[in-house]
Structure 1
Amino acid sequence: MKKGEIYEGMIETIEFPNKGIVWVKDESVGETVRVIVKNGMPGQKVRFQINKKRKNRCEGRLLEVLEKSEREVREPVCDAFPACGGCMYQTMAYKDQLSMKAGQVRALIEDALVRGGQVKADAPEEADYVFEGIQGSPLEFGYRNKMEFSFGDAVKDGPLTLGLHKKGSTYDVLTTGDCKIVHEDFTKILKCVLEYCREQKLSYYRKMSHEGYLRHLLVRRAQTTGDILVNLVTSSQAEHDFTELVEELLKLELEGHITGILHIINDSLADVVQSDETRILYGKDYFYETILGLKFKITPFSFFQTNSLGAEVLYSAARNYIGSTKDMTVFDLYSGTGTIAQILADVSKKVIGVEIVEEAVEAARENAVLNHLDNCEFIAGDVLKVLDDVEEKPDFIVLDPPRDGIHPKALEKIIQYQVPKMVYISCKPSSLARDLEILLAGGYRVERVQCVDMFPATVHVETVVMLSHKKPDSVINVKVEFGEGEGKVPLDNIAKRAEAYKPKERVTYKMIKEYIEAKYGFKVHTAYIAEVKRDLGLPMYDVPNAVEELKQPRKHPTAEKVEAIKDALKYFDILK
């Protein structure tokens, strides 16, 4: 198998976030090879080209879907599918999306528990934690309360476009005029702005040359009130009077109502939506949103969950895990605009939020005043540094970090508090799994896990984890004398008991493969070992998103290799 070669195969499972797993026979080595093909669905027969080949990893680029999956039970809901990679699971039934995401998270969590020592590798079914499945979003479509659209073109020197980037491209922009994960008001605003900018022949900003005018259209909409903020983002390379555009926007027949239209100047070289200068063209630069009875002020750049109704499900799950915090000091680390802190403030002695984005901290302080909460303190700064200066000690910790997770050194400081319980809210399961290993090594254990789907049709999912720290209830001092004679403990007895209770070495697939190669002189694939274990009824991981019925037969090990695998399993006491 070489780079550039083209193969066909069936996507058997999808690993987080969008890694389709295809098993292909590599004729050069006579074995079946695991290839990662992104952006597919379980059960699809695909054609792909090998674009990465390393020692232990092989990746292919999806070229064509040859046969649809049985899980694709509905037609695409928007014109941009599948060119826009945002909602790649939209043709799947929602219940299948939920099942697949829950399976992905569970696999990552259990791998972390095995590596962290909470779960035995050879007995994952005996895991001493509770996986509580997944809760869906109250809205499957039209759930996003914020969208950043980009200006550009779909083909070089083509007409001006406004929408989302084409899958796999940082330059080509598709006009997404019927995006279904946002409210219809977004679509009407997008079409109005695009038509106006085309008529005015305004140029768009080119990221390579850093030349041009139009950059982004940022729209935010309150779920509870329908208030809308329209933010047109440009460079400072031209001047334009947007009075006519404001008039056109205000004429639109919307379900909600525009409370503010802003012109934001952004000359950053990076492709990010930020403000060097903000000009209010109409109304005001904020609106209010309500979550679980609390009111929050939302500005163009406020950090706020993009699915308001889904956020209520997420925070309710977190609050359920947190339980009673009466008379407790709670640390809300990576607190954003203080949503969780304020949800807990009513039932806590004090809540201290730490957030690195100063604008978010200012918003959190405003929101606390708005909600008449006087026991919240919000500190601007990096968690890694701020914890050194905070005098209070927490009784409970809530973690809600950004997508990349928590810095290992910050985790070490968090562990040093030795709080009995903490809750970790994650928007990226793979980062969560990495951080859990460190927390497990620090004496914590996973008690409960709950997934919440905040982003239907996409690859993303939120996870809430409750962790506990076991401390000794009491200390008993016992005086023991070693040696021979009455009342003394013989040393040879200690050695025998230690040997008897010595934990068994974890047997890995690598050890089994090395044993077989050394004894029989040939190699066996991991998939063959797994198949033999499955046939023998030995413990296996659950794979909720596996294909129930293959459309082409899976390659099986020869009788010789089956016997060699059984011999290795007996050697390592896995098979009696």
Structure 2
Amino acid sequence: MARKKKIIEVEIIDTIFPNKSIGKYEDQTIIFKGGIKGQKVKVLLNRRKKNYIEAKLLEILERSPLEKNILCSDVKDCGGCAYQTLLYEDELKLKEEQVLALFEKEEIKELNYLGIEKSPRVEGYRNKMEYTFGDEIKGGPLVLGLHRRGRFYEIIDTDGCNIADKDFTLIRKRVMKYFREINTAFYNKRTHEGILRHLVIRKALSTRDILINLVTTSQGEVDPNNFTKELLSIHGLEGKIVGILHTINDGLADVVKADKLNLLHGREYIIEEILGLKFKISPFSFFQTNTFGAERLYSIVRDFIEDEKTNIVFDLYSGTGTIAQILSPVCEKVIGIEIIEEAVEMAIENAKLNGLHNVDFISGDVFEEVDKLKEKPDLIIIDPPRDGIHPKAINKIINFAPQTFIYVSCNPITLVRDLKIFMDKGYKIDKMKLMDMFPRTPHVEAVTRLVRELS
């Protein structure tokens, strides 16, 4: 019998979504985050569950036969990616198998599954990177990069990152060098002392606009003129820096938020173009991190509408209104609901930017706001957060009884859970397609079309 807190060696015999591995030890099932089928690993046994033991991955002892690819020099240390060592075709196959296994487990068989679509870019596809200031070893030199795998306090210099845009690496390295030279202290998450917290870079991949946001505490000063001058002197950028911001954040949580926001140079937004429409993206706007992948994702949504009559469309969990605006040319009216007020403000602004007059956006909780809608929708688009549709809201949404729902999900686990409720209420899955928006990570988007069965 395996003991709690014991370190053991196991071979990964299978994986399940999202990026969880299964091994066997003394007739016990061991499940832990990370790993690839076929690897031999060292794990630490933790909590005992009903049918398995939860463990923590400590070390990869032997590589899997599937691992044929090493394009990132930081693959052993960085916690950002899971599948850097797989060929892209094998990564897609793995994601596909894991998602379909979720449907099989719940005995959802009639899927009309249309396959998984590749990301248009596999390398350099991210249009946003959030870097953290810290040190790689205690007392070592200042580092600006990503968290070490499985560690909260250690940061590594991610010089070999291949999913970030090349301009991000140039900017990150220059900023790290600048603050090293003037000996500026990073914010220590243990003592809550220090200045430098994060560097957030966004780039519009179509227009090549670059927005840089330095996040610090108020415990020290950053010379705005020298910092701006340093950034604007960077040579070799493919894009153009259109805005430089300085955010003050004195919160204890390790998240980027603004107690105060100062504009140091240019403007506070970039402009991205998708499917002929323009979108202003501010420092804290949500926008898909894979621009060209988002074009394919939204094209799938548009294709799933087919040629049916779509006079009135509800876009629930509408974010910054991207889907609503892309659908507006083929609809009489689109109504979007989103709880984040800033996102709604940006959606309204973007609709004006694109000259769209048949889209309305409502700021509020979907659970509450759907009760206030008087229109009868022909189609409802649902694009909820990772937690899926709120249990109290799902029946209200289904009770609108449109002929068609299109459910866009970034979490197949909650998608399957929600789809079962739709099916119990008289809808069937007409078709489903996966879109790989996040190469080298375990995440994947799913688009499902549901139609009401004739009674």
Normalising by the residue count of structure 2, what TM-score does the alignment of the two structures yield? 0.96
1:217 maps to 199
Give the structure 1 partner of residue 34 of structure 2: 39
Q: What's 1:320 paired with? A: 303
The equivalent of 1:241 in structure 2 is 223
Return the offset for 1:327.
Answer: 4.8
C-alpha deviation, 1:201, in angstroms: 1.4
- Alignment length, in residue pairs? 453
Q: Is the 8 A contact 1:141 1:182 kept in 2?
A: yes
| Cα displacement (A) at 1:223 | 0.6
CA contact (8 A) 2:12 2:21 kept: yes
- Structure 2 distance, partners of 1:89, 1:37, is 16
* Distance across 1 between alignment mates of 2:123 and 2:373: 43
2:188 is the alignment partner of 1:194: no
CA distance in 2, matches of 1:395, 1:47: 54
Amino acid at match of 1:11: I
The corresponding residue for 2:285 is 302
Structure of larger gyration radius: 1
Q: Do the aligned partners of residues 325 and 290 (structure 1) sit closer, same or farther apart at CA in structure 2, a change above 3 Å counting?
A: farther
Aligned pairs (5 A) from 1:317-466: 317-324=300-307, 326-466=309-449
Is 1:330–1:396's contact at 8 Å kept on the other side of the alignment?
A: yes
The separation in 1 between residues aligned to 2:140 and 2:357, in whole angstroms, is 56
Structure 1 distance, partners of 2:15, 2:171, is: 36
Partners of 1:128 and 1:433 in 2: how far apart?
A: 13
Does the CA contact (< 8 Å) of 1:150 and 1:217 recur in 2? yes
In 2, Cα distance between the equivalents of 1:437 and 1:154? Answer: 46
Task: Assess if the C-alpha contact under 8 Å between 1:106 and 1:131 holds in 2.
Answer: no
* Contact persistence 1:289–1:297 (CA under 8 A): yes
Rounded to whole Å, the distance in 1 between the matches of 2:408 and 2:341 is 21
**In 2, Cα distance between equivalents of 1:169 and 1:364:** 37
Structure-2 separation of matches of 1:278 and 1:162 = 21
Q: Which amino acid aligns with 1:106?
A: L
| Aligned partners of 1:8 and 1:48 also within 8 Å | yes
Task: String of CA shifts for 1:267-326, please: whole Å, max 9, x gaps.
Answer: 222221121221111111112100111111111111110000000111111111122354
- 1:240-271 Cα offsets, whole Å, 9 max, x none, are 21322211211112111111111111122222
Q: Is the CA contact (8 Å cut-off) linking 1:428 and 1:460 kept in structure 2?
A: yes
* Cα distance change of structure 1 residues 318 and 310 upon mapping to structure 2, 3 Å threshold: same
The 5 Å alignment of 1:231-310 reads 231-253=213-235, 254-310=237-293
- The separation in 1 between residues aligned to 2:163 and 2:281, in whole angstroms, is 20
Contact 2:28 2:52 in 1 (8 A): no
What amino acid maps onto 1:21 in structure 2? Answer: I
Structure 1 residue 443 displacement after superposition = 2.2
Secondary structure of the 1:445 match is strand
- The residue identity in structure 1 corresponding to 2:344 is V
Alignment of 1:496-507 (within 5 A): none
Confirm whether residue 19 of structure 1 aligns to residue 20 of structure 2.
yes
Distance 1:6 1:296 in 2: 51
Indicate the SS of the match to 2:405.
strand
Tell me if the contact between 2:304 and 2:406 (Cα under 8 Å) persists in the aligned partners. Answer: yes
| Deviation (angstroms), 1:63 | 2.8
109, 119, 136: which is aligned to 1:154? 136
Matches of 1:241 and 1:7 in 2, distance apart? 52
Give the whole-Å Cα distance in 1 for the aligned partners of 2:180 and 2:390. 45
Partner of 2:82: 88
* Structure 1 runs not aligned, ≥5 long: 27-31, 120-126, 473-576
TM-score computed with the length of structure 1 as normaliser:
0.76
Q: CA deviation at 1:176?
A: 1.3
Letter in 1 for 2:116: I
Measure, in 2, the Cα distance between the counterparts of 1:105 and 1:269: 36
CA contact (8 A) 2:244 2:268 kept: yes
Equivalent-residue separation in structure 2 for 1:45 and 1:173 (angstroms): 26
Q: Deviations over 1:62-109 (max 9, x none)?
A: 23322211111122x233212112122111000000000011111112
The superposition leaves residues 2-24 of structure 1 with CA deviations (integer Å, 9 ceiling, x where unpaired) of: 11233333212211111111122
Select the structure that is richer in strand. Answer: 2
**Do 2:309 and 2:378's aligned partners in 1 also have CA atoms closer than 8 Å?**
no
Give the alignment's Cα RMSD to 1 decimal: 1.5
Partner Cα separation in structure 2 for residue 362 and residue 49 of structure 1: 47
1:129-158 per-residue CA deviation (whole Å, 9 max, x = no partner) reads 211110110111100000111111222222
2:379–2:405 CA contact under 8 A, matched in 1: yes
The Cα offsets for residues 394-448 of structure 1, whole Å up to 9 and x where unpaired, read as 1110011111211101111101111121011111111212222222222222221
Q: CA deviation at 1:38?
A: 2.2
Q: Which moved more, 1:380-389 or 1:202-211?
A: 202-211
* Secondary structure in structure 2 of the residue aligned to 1:387: helix
Which SS does the other structure have where 1:346 is aligned?
helix
Query: Residue 163 of structure 1 aligns with which residue?
Result: 145
Cα distance in 2 for residues equivalent to 1:245 and 1:332? 42
The one-letter code sitting in structure 1 at the alignment partner of 2:150 is G
Give me the whole-angstrom Cα distance separating, in 2, the residues matched to 1:164 and 1:431: 28
Q: Which runs of 5 or more structure 2 residues have no equivalent in the other structure?
A: none
- Name 1:172's counterpart in structure 2: 154
1:97 matches 2:91: yes
Please say if residues 130 and 448 of structure 1, whose CA atoms lie closer than 8 Å, have aligned partners that are also in contact: yes
Q: Deviations over 1:422-479 (max 9, x none)?
A: 011111111212222222222222221111111111111111111122132xxxxxxx
- 2: CA distance, partners of 1:57 / 1:393: 48
TM-superposed deviation, 1:210: 2.6
1:391 Cα deviation after fit: 1.7
Range 45-54 or range 254-263, more displaced:
45-54
8 Å Cα contact 1:82-1:88 kept in structure 2? no
* Distance in 1 separating the partners of 2:454 and 2:397: 16
Residue type at the aligned position of 2:374: E
Counterpart residue type for residue 33 of structure 2: K
Q: Deviations over 1:40-76 (max 9, x none)?
A: 111112232312222322122223322211111122x
